[in-house]
A and B are shown apart, each in its own frame.
Chain A
Amino acid sequence: MKKCVQKHTEVRPSRSFLPGAGMELLPSFLEYPQTVHIFPVTTRAPGVSNHYKRSIPHARSPMLIGKPPDIPSSEITQKDDYRDYLNRRRFLRGAAAVGAAALGAERLADVFSPRVRALAGTKLQTVPSPLTTTGEQLTTYQDVTTYNNFYEFGVNKDQPAKNAGGLPTRPWTVRIEGKVKTPKTFDIEALLKLRPLEDRIYRHRCVEAWSMVIPWVGYSLSEFIKQCDPLPSAKYLQFLSYYDHKVEKWSGEDAAIFWPYSEGLRMDEAMNPLTLLTFGLYGEVLPNQNGAPIRIVVPWKYGFKSAKSIVAVRFLDKMPPTTWNDSGPSEYGFYSNVNPNVDHPRWSQKTERRIGQPFYAQRRTTLMFNGYADQVASLYSGMDLKKDF
């Protein structure tokens, strides 16, 4: 099927904090889904309608396609620039085929693996979810996609966005191993179609004491686990991330880490409906730096528990080794539930800095289980979370 690139207009939370600015239209958590586009761009089954327009009762009347947007350019956020950037890159790829010699090595890589980056930003068809978090202002797409911890692509926050372009997100398969009836392999396209993709806004709390609010796209990991037929002896899950030193040549910068990146969950944690098998954010395919093409999101745990770019899921009868726990057992526990009462040895976890907020408004109180205690506290009844941090 030919992929068509859709021109569309969106309104996203604005960064400006000058009085009045960015508050013109709607409460900010209602702002982002005002997406107008006629037909879906992806291979999603037709018939699943785009809920965005329906879900916003106060949304301004839909704009006609082709008509220039009637919002001031200052309200169009970086996301639109990003799309233009993608379009430019597609154009460049064509140009590179002609004059490859004149272009740098990075562009050359694009020519030889033309599907790289082609998917990030593709629209996904989604349905609403009762498990979404409400009442939070979304972190901008710009910040969500340029402020990342993805050490395979560099230790600085801005590096993954610059370096992850070479991650080959197609073809992509996920191996199922260990205590299952029959080991098998899922293709990413099959996983995308397994269940309707839901919009789930979650708070995201990093162990480094910063936080975001991200509109993820995916479905509960439990739906996937059911397809894997785990044996009763399967008590834990291990997630292994993509690793290729040729693609991720920045991974050597921190010698203390052993690759591939490994994370794990207890079976009941993995089966909790909040645990999200994630394919997208902001209604679109995950950008590579956010863990494309498939990752998990465990919103009540510190961010590093949410493994990115997963290539294998192992069902195990005992607790798997996990990357950060291996490199610093006293700093990063296996559970790593967000817990304001247990300090990291080098800093306090009582408060956090909300990314994208003005400097005087960044600091906020960290909530137990990142605010998801109602849904998950029962998983840990009887456990001493100071000991099993």
Chain B
Amino acid sequence: MKHSYLVVLKILVWIGCLCPLLLLAYRAVGNALGPDPSAEIASVTGLTALWLLASGLAITPVRSLSPRLNWLIRFRRLLGLFVFFYATLHMLTWLGLYAGFDLNTIKVDLTKRRFIIMGVTTWLLLLPLAATSTTWAIRKMGGKNWNRLHKLVYVAGLSAMVHYWWKVKPGVLSPAPFTLVLLLLLAVRPVLAWVQRRKVQAARRARAVIG
């Protein structure tokens, strides 16, 4: 893909990722966040983080469809950082609008409420990934270590899913679509790895025959 196309696409992805926040801000200014604005802010920031996470996880499987889609990898870091951005906003919603930045309330929430414990866990899992997102960090850590650390995103995806299920009332099925997509994206990885291994083995055998 030509560099100029990539630049344009990057700008579009930036705008796309900022859209939920801008829309939220616009509605907040017009006081159009619905009857319970705090809940709406929590819901929009949380859902955006979830679906951006799913988009980021989709890049690897989609790339494997064709080598011509390799350029997609250039967007993964951007998406990942936006996941962290929205997850942070989501957590700030809890800390500010729900707990009122009151240390005691936060402490009680963290000891008593399991969906909050799971949410904070997810954020803590995302934190080192965001912190090591720079090219400098990748170079410093070495590709292998970096890759190993960034496998944490799978755990974060799963803990975010559990957080969502624990948050809604029993019997409410709203976390189902995300759950389905996430599990599919996770399940497809071992399959892809197996296909990849088969290809490498076949290539090796072919080389051996020729050799």
Closest to A361 in B: B37
B171 touches A147 (CB 8 A): no
Contacting A350 at CB < 8 Å: which of B35, B37, B105? B105
CB within 8 Å for A146 and B35 given contacts A348-B105, A363-B97: yes
Known contacts A155-B169, A353-B36; A18/B29 CB under 8 A: yes
B172 beta carbon closer than 8 Å to chain A: yes
Per-position contact with A for B104-133: 1 when CB-CB < 8 Å, else 0?
A: 010011001100000000000000000000
**Nearest Cβ distance between residue A247 and chain B, in whole angstroms?**
21
Known: A16-B30, A16-B31, A347-B113. A147 touches B36 (CB 8 A): yes
Contacts A353-B36, A355-B36, A363-B97; is A17 near B31 (CB within 8 Å)? yes
- Nearest B residue to A146 via CB reads B35
Question: What's the Cα separation between A363 and B98 when bound, in Å?
Answer: 8
Given contacts A253-B171, A254-B171, A255-B171, contact A362 B37 (CB under 8 A): yes
Q: Is B201 an interface residue (CB 8 A)?
A: no
Interface assignment of B161: CB less than 8 Å from any CB of chain A: no
Question: How many angstroms from the CA of A343 to the CA of B108 in the assembled complex?
Answer: 11
Q: B100 interface residue, CB < 8 Å from A?
A: yes
A-chain residues with CB within 8 Å of residue B67 when the two chains form the complex: none
Residues of B within 8 A of A346 (CB): 112-113
> Which residues of chain A are within 8 angstroms of B36 by Cβ–Cβ distance?
147, 157, 210, 353, 355, 362
Q: Is the CB of A359 within 8 A of B38?
A: yes
Assess whether A351 is interfacial by the CB under 8 Å rule: yes
Residues of B within 8 A of A109 (CB): none
A159 to chain B, nearest CB (A): 12
Min CB distance, A387 to chain B, in Å?
Answer: 20
CA distance A15 to B31 in the complex (A): 6
Known: A155-B169, A350-B105. A356 touches B113 (CB 8 A): no
Q: Which chain A residues lie closer than 8 Å to B38 at the CB level? A: 353, 359, 362-363
Residue contact B100 to A359, C-beta cutoff 8 Å? no
The tally of CB-CB contacts under 8 A between chains A and B is 59
Cβ of B152 within 8 Å of any chain A Cβ, yes or no, is: no
B121 to chain A, nearest CB (A): 18
A244 within 8 A of B: no
> Which chain B residues border A345 with CB–CB below 8 Å?
112
Question: In the complex the two chains form, is B171's CB within 8 Å of A358's CB?
Answer: no
Q: How far is the CA of A155 from the CA of B76 in the complex (A)?
A: 38
Q: How large is the interface on A (under 10, 10 to 19, 20 to 34, 35 or more residues)?
A: 20 to 34
A348 touches B108 (CB 8 A): yes
Say whether B30 contacts A358, CB under 8 Å.
no
B35 and A355 contact, CB distance less than 8 A: yes
Q: In the complex, which residues of chain B have a beta carbon less than 8 angstroms from the beta carbon of A254? A: 169, 171
Give A356 to B33 CA distance when docked, in angstroms.
9
Q: Tell me the smallest distance from the CB of B113 to a CB of chain A, in Å.
A: 6
* B33 contact from A210, A253, A359, Cβ within 8 A: A359
Closest to B28 in A: A359
> Would you call A351 and B113 a contact (CB within 8 A)?
no
Complex Cα gap A348–B108 (Å): 9
User: 1/0 per position for B16-56, CB-CB distance to A under 8 A?
Assistant: 00000000000011111101111111000000000000000
Residue of A nearest to B170 (CB): A256
When chains A and B are docked, how far (Å) is the Cα of A353 from the Cα of B170? 23
Cα separation A169 to B185 with both chains bound (whole Å): 50
User: How far is it, in angstroms, between the C-alpha of A210 and the C-alpha of B35 when the chains are bound?
Assistant: 10
Which A313-358 residues have a C-beta within 8 angstroms of B? 343, 345-348, 350-351, 353, 355-358
A143 lies within 8 A of B35 (CB): yes
A residues less than 8 Å from B109 (CB atoms): 348
| A355 to B39 CA separation, bound complex (whole angstroms) | 10
CA distance A388 to B33 in the complex (A): 37
Contact A362 B97 (CB under 8 A): yes
Which residue in A146, A155, A255, A358 is a CB contact (below 8 Å) of B37?
A: A358
List residues of chain B with CB within 8 A of the CB of A147: 35-36
In the assembly, what is the distance between CA of A256 and CA of B170, in Å? 9
Contact A363 B35 (CB under 8 A): no
A351 (CB) vs chain B CBs: closest residue: B100
In angstroms, Cα B31 to Cα A357, docked, is 8
Q: Which residue of A lies closest to B173 (CB)?
A: A253
Kindly list chain A residues whose C-beta atoms are within 8 Å of the C-beta of B112: 345-346
Distance (Å) between the CB of A239 and the closest chain B CB? Answer: 24
**Could you tell me the distance between the alpha carbons of A256 and B97 in the complex, rounded to whole angstroms?**
31
Complex contacts, B172 vs chain A, CB 8 Å: 155
**15 sample A-B contacts, Cβ–Cβ < 8 Å, listed by A number:** A143-B35, A253-B171, A255-B171, A256-B171, A343-B108, A345-B112, A346-B112, A347-B113, A348-B109, A353-B38, A355-B35, A355-B36, A358-B28, A359-B37, A362-B36
* 8 further A-B pairs in the complex, CB-CB below 8 A; given A356-B35, A362-B36, A362-B97: A17-B31, A143-B35, A155-B171, A254-B169, A255-B171, A256-B170, A348-B109, A353-B38
Q: Which 3 residue pairs are nearest across A and B when measured between Cβ atoms?
A: A359-B37, A147-B35, A143-B35
Interface set of B (CB-CB < 8 Å, partner A): 28-33, 35-41, 97-98, 100, 105, 108-109, 112-113, 169-172
Which residues from chain A sit less than 8 Å from chain B, CB to CB?
15-18, 143, 146-147, 155, 157, 210, 253-256, 343, 345-348, 350-351, 353, 355-360, 362-363
